[in-house]
Structure 1
Amino acid sequence: MKHISIISIALATFLLIGCNNKADSGSGHNDDNASAEKMEQGEEGHNEEKGVVELTNQQVETIGLEMKPLEKRSLGNTIKVTGQLELFPQDRANISPFVGGNVRSINVIEGDKVNKGQVLAYLEHPDIISMQQEFQEKNDELLFLKQDYERKQTLYDKGVSSGREFQMAQSKFRSTTSSVNGLRSKLRLLGINTDKVIQGQIFSSVPITTPITGYVDEVMVSLGDFVAPQTKMFTVSDNSEIHADFKVYEKDIRKVKVGQEIYFTVAAKPEQLLKAEIHAIGKTFESDAKALHVHADVHNEDKELLPGMYVEGRIVQDEKMAFAVPEEAIVREGEQSYVFILDQDEKKEENKLKFKMIPVNVGITDLGYVEINLPAEIAQEVKVVTKGAYTLSSEMIKSELGHDD
């Protein structure tokens, strides 16, 4: 019995150890499965779409991103030119008085729109009054001399009066007529109504008027100033028919012809491509730059283009229309070029924008714009990031590096 008890205890112990080992083995297997599942879930949590950056509206505003629909522009092999906007001589007026005087009143300020003949200021001076008085006296004297001349001519024709008396009357009449006509012309130049002066009216001041319609550029006088004759008082310009003055260098002269179109930009509107047409080509070289001046007509209906603005342009040759984006919209990695487009996914979270980086083939670069060809699967109605593309690229790299950790 003693031996049987010992065998039973040993068997029970063996069975117990076996069960424990089995339990431990099962537990380890479960832990491995749990770890594998956890790793798989973890990998799925970091498995975001490659080449995509997601930003909140506030982040977009902070970074200063700008987006525009993809559009076609005129690109081609061109002659690069620079220059500035100018006015035609007949569209700019420096206004000065014909006689000296003190400024009695000023009716305009810089920037005012004025019409041809409008009064800008009034000048007054005693000499202006004296000129009108002299005109009145000479005109009255002319009436007497005319009657005397006609009477003596009649007597001379009848043989009653001597030829000497007739000739003296004729000479005085003609010289006084000349004086009256001269004074009348001077007064009219001053803007004074001579018919009213003849009737006895005297004007104490004369108006200073503008000979063209336009805008007041400069006012160079103040109340009470004495202004000498031919002293510039105002500058008025009409920039509705402004033109561009470009320089074309010697090597490109043979390629330029009247009637060609020039596309150009100004610093005030760098994103807007403006158009002009060559109407005249200079015939004299500049001594330093060995360049000819090319004049091109510009339509300036909105009056936003101003004389003196620096312009960069190109004379069109082999022109073509192509999809193009600003140079700063292109992100280059090695030899491959990319752009960022706005992802129009309807499932995106509210107040968040998703940007996708896509590869593009680039072509002609012209006036700060680059021709691009989108992949076939990308719609042409996309919005392209035109400003801040490299910032988006940096954000995407940081996001990817964070996930690798």
Structure 2
Amino acid sequence: MTRNNMKTEKTTAFAFLLALSCGICACIGENGPSAEQDSKTVTADSTRGQEIVELTEAQLQHADIETGKAAQKASSAAITVNGLAVAPPENRHTVGFPMGGYLSSVRLVNGAPVRKGTVMATLEDMAFIQLQEDYLMAKSRLVAAQADYKRQQVLNSTQSASDKVFQQARAEYENQRILVASQGEKLRLIGIDPATLDESHITREVELRSPINGIVSNVLANPGKYTAPEDVLFELVDPSKVYLALSVYEKDARLLKQGQRVSCYANTDPRKRYEATVELINGSINENRAVEVWCSFTSSPAPLMPGTFVTAEIQLSDEAGQTLPEEAVVRWQNKHYVFSAEGERRFAMRAVEIGHTADGYVQIVSGLPENDIVLKNAYSLLMMLKNGEEGG
């Protein structure tokens, strides 16, 4: 390669590098001020406990923000909850027998309907015979004590017997009356009528009868089993009165009132709905952070069996209040906020307490400022505010 050629190549390379450097400088000169200007379009001010975002005129137009006042309107809403159809405690019966004995027969199965007085099982034991014997012996001694009392009463009236003898006869008569009465109640407790009992009707078997009209929900007995007084033999349910036991989370508990209408359906048949009314509201929150609500069906008898799982809608009261469109209320860190207009391009984020939501509107319970509220694209302001704070 000649010296002239080498000189020509060096000149060409220098010219290329110079042109490239000028191009880069020109690009930096064009983009640098624009990036700096964009970083200054949003100003976030969190001083004095206030969060304020300030927009440029271009950003305000681009955000398509609308402001206005909250509307005073009546809103109707419902909360959806789950629950169970249950029988109240007074309609659930646990059946046992007050004395020990052997079960000689059991006549029922789970789900069987029973009427009050229906024989559910029969038991036998020697203790039953002893109770009948004690009653008849006490009844016999009462007859003798009564005759002696009347005789001593006549003798005492003529001074033919001392007062002491008469008093002893009267005491014995009274004691026998008490004994017969107590022995009779023991017989009634195991289902034997003392009025019909005599020496020819002593039995070793007694019948266990249903105390209510209802349905057998559980059978815990079988023939040949020895039952003690504390044993449970049958569980009965009276389906004539069934409640809805609903579980309402604590955030919605303040919206509940007695008398609110409830519409529910069994999870097995969502097409068929039943009406009920809120009757009782538990005043405490359980371990699941929920409140138990008892509702009574409007139809009688109850349309659902105890134990049925249900989904229910509780209709909240139609009350007039300050409402805003749903998109006017933003959620940040588990709290609700609105943006109020503090100037032509300045907006302040204010905490509010909300009520129920219905038909695209949110009821504002407290915290609503007097200034105009951002009704549209409030979330755009939230994102600008938080991005501005991070950038600052």
TM-score band, normalised by shorter chain? 0.5 to 0.7
Counterpart position of 1:230: 230
| Deviation digits for residues 362-391 of structure 1 (CA, Å, limit 9, x no counterpart) | x969xxxxxxxxxxxxxxxxxxxxxxxxxx
2 CA distance for matches of 1:112 and 1:241? 18
Count of aligned pairs: 247
1 CA distance for matches of 2:159 and 2:310? 81
Contact 1:259 1:277 in 2 (8 A): yes
Counterpart position of 2:295: 296
Q: CA deviation at 1:90?
A: 2.0
CA gap of 1:200–1:170, structure 2 versus 1, over 3 A, is farther
SS in structure 1 of the partner of residue 232 of structure 2? coil
What letter is aligned with 2:117? G
Contact 2:241 2:301 in 1 (8 A): no
Counterpart position of 1:158: 158
SS in structure 1 of the partner of residue 248 of structure 2? strand
2 CA distance for matches of 1:103 and 1:172? 39
Q: CA deviation at 1:199?
A: 5.8
1 CA distance for matches of 2:110 and 2:301? 19
Stretches of structure 2 lacking an aligned partner (at least 5 in a row): 1-74, 319-357, 361-392
Counterpart position of 1:107: 107
CA gap of 1:259–1:163, structure 2 versus 1, over 3 A, is same
Q: CA deviation at 1:266?
A: 2.3
Q: CA deviation at 1:300?
A: 7.0
SS in structure 2 of the partner of residue 244 of structure 1? strand
Contact 1:266 1:310 in 2 (8 A): yes
Contact 1:264 1:275 in 2 (8 A): yes
Counterpart position of 1:208: 208
| Deviation digits for residues 281-316 of structure 1 (CA, Å, limit 9, x no counterpart) | 223332x23433211112676876232333222211
SS in structure 2 of the partner of residue 240 of structure 1? coil
2 CA distance for matches of 1:172 and 1:283? 58
1 CA distance for matches of 2:224 and 2:168? 47
Contact 1:94 1:235 in 2 (8 A): yes
> Where does structure 1 differ by over 4 angstroms across 4 or more consecutive aligned residues?
299-304
RMSD value over aligned CA atoms? 2.4
SS in structure 2 of the partner of residue 221 of structure 1? coil
Pairing 1:247-326 to 2, within 5 Å after superposition: 247-286=247-286, 288-298=287-297, 305-317=304-316
CA gap of 1:270–1:302, structure 2 versus 1, over 3 A, is farther
Pairing 1:5-404 to 2, within 5 Å after superposition: 77-198=77-198, 200-286=200-286, 288-298=287-297, 305-317=304-316
Q: How many percent identity over aligned positions?
A: 27
Contact 1:214 1:238 in 2 (8 A): yes
2 CA distance for matches of 1:216 and 1:308? 14
Counterpart position of 1:36: none
2 CA distance for matches of 1:301 and 1:243? 11
Contact 2:92 2:238 in 1 (8 A): yes
SS in structure 2 of the partner of residue 154 of structure 1? helix
Contact 1:139 1:198 in 2 (8 A): no
Counterpart position of 1:26: none
Contact 2:260 2:317 in 1 (8 A): no
1 CA distance for matches of 2:306 and 2:163? 66
Q: CA deviation at 1:254?
A: 3.5
1 CA distance for matches of 2:145 and 2:250? 69
Contact 1:242 1:298 in 2 (8 A): yes
1 CA distance for matches of 2:294 and 2:301? 21
CA gap of 1:173–1:200, structure 2 versus 1, over 3 A, is farther
1 CA distance for matches of 2:298 and 2:114? 21
Contact 1:242 1:299 in 2 (8 A): no
| Deviation digits for residues 127-175 of structure 1 (CA, Å, limit 9, x no counterpart) | 1011101111110110100111122123223322222212222222222
Q: CA deviation at 1:210?
A: 0.8
What letter is aligned with 2:293? V
SS in structure 2 of the partner of residue 164 of structure 1? helix
2 CA distance for matches of 1:267 and 1:249? 20
2 CA distance for matches of 1:204 and 1:119? 16
| Deviation digits for residues 81-102 of structure 1 (CA, Å, limit 9, x no counterpart) | 3222210122221110111111
| Deviation digits for residues 48-86 of structure 1 (CA, Å, limit 9, x no counterpart) | xxxxxxxxxxxxxxxxxxxxxxxxxxx951123322221
1 CA distance for matches of 2:220 and 2:288? 35
CA gap of 1:154–1:283, structure 2 versus 1, over 3 A, is farther
2 CA distance for matches of 1:115 and 1:281? 33
Stretches of structure 1 lacking an aligned partner (at least 5 in a row): 1-74, 320-362, 366-405
2 CA distance for matches of 1:255 and 1:303? 26
2 CA distance for matches of 1:144 and 1:279? 61
CA gap of 1:316–1:280, structure 2 versus 1, over 3 A, is same
TM-score using structure 1 length: 0.56
Q: CA deviation at 1:119?
A: 0.7
TM-score using structure 2 length: 0.58
Q: CA deviation at 1:230?
A: 3.1
2 CA distance for matches of 1:76 and 1:83? 22
What letter is aligned with 2:157? D
Contact 2:241 2:302 in 1 (8 A): no
SS in structure 2 of the partner of residue 140 of structure 1? helix
